[in-house]
Every structure is written in structure tokens, then in C-alpha cells.
Amino acid sequence: METILSKEIQLGLDKVRLAGLKKLSRLRIKADGAQHEVLRMWKTGFALDAGQAPHLRGLVDIYDGTNHMFQCLIVASDEEAGEMRFEFKRATPVTDAAPLDFVRAENAPVALIGSDGY
């Protein structure tokens, strides 16, 4: 059986659902000096509140609290049920060290001691 709700009731339900998602999510994005709360995130994108979301495009940074997680290239995808959805073109995890351009052996020494002891 399919239930049909009036437009006003559906908007009210969407508003309550979005408020619940905002309370639960610690994720946020930074773009162009502005900060926006992420309602939910999946493997290929994320969603923001459509009422507060600008039509972002380009480079954004994704944070979990204060932890910088990803640097991403994004494009706006679609708007549905009060959410503005964005898709990743590229999502690069942020690391605290530069990537190596060679394979490091597991048993490699941490440092070398020279003949003069230094």
C-alpha cells in the first residue's frame, strides 16, 4: 500500500529529517573561505542542506571536526528532498607526510651512522 502525503506534510517531514542529520553529522566543508555542514557523505559524493548550500564547483576541503580528511574537486549533481547533492571528480585523502616516489623496504634502517660516529 502506498501512502500519499500532502505537499505541506512532506515539506515538514523533510525539514525534521534534515535537522536530525545536521545534529548527527560532524562533517563540514570549507570552500572559498566559507564553511558548510555536510548532511551525509557516501563514496562518490556528499549532500548539503539545499536552503543553505551555494552551487559549489571546484576545490573544497572536507573536515571531520578539526581533522582534515579530504581535498576534493566537486560538481553539483542534483537537488532532492531538501538536499543539494555534489559528486566528487577527485577525492584525495590528506596525509601528514609527502608521498614517496620509491618503495621503502620493511626492514630498512631508520638512520645511518657514519664512520665518525655521527
Region 18-35 average pLDDT = 74
Cell of 117: 660516529
Go through the domains of the chain in sequence order and give each one's CATH number: 26-93 (2.40.10.430)
At 61 the pLDDT is 93
Residue 38: beta bridge partners? 48
Region 81-102 average pLDDT = 86
At 70 the pLDDT is 92
pLDDT digit string (tens) for 35-82?
888 888 899 999 988 887 777 888 999 998 888 999 999 998 888 878
Cα gap 100→66, rounded to integer Å: 26
pTM of the model: 0.64
Cell of 60: 573544497
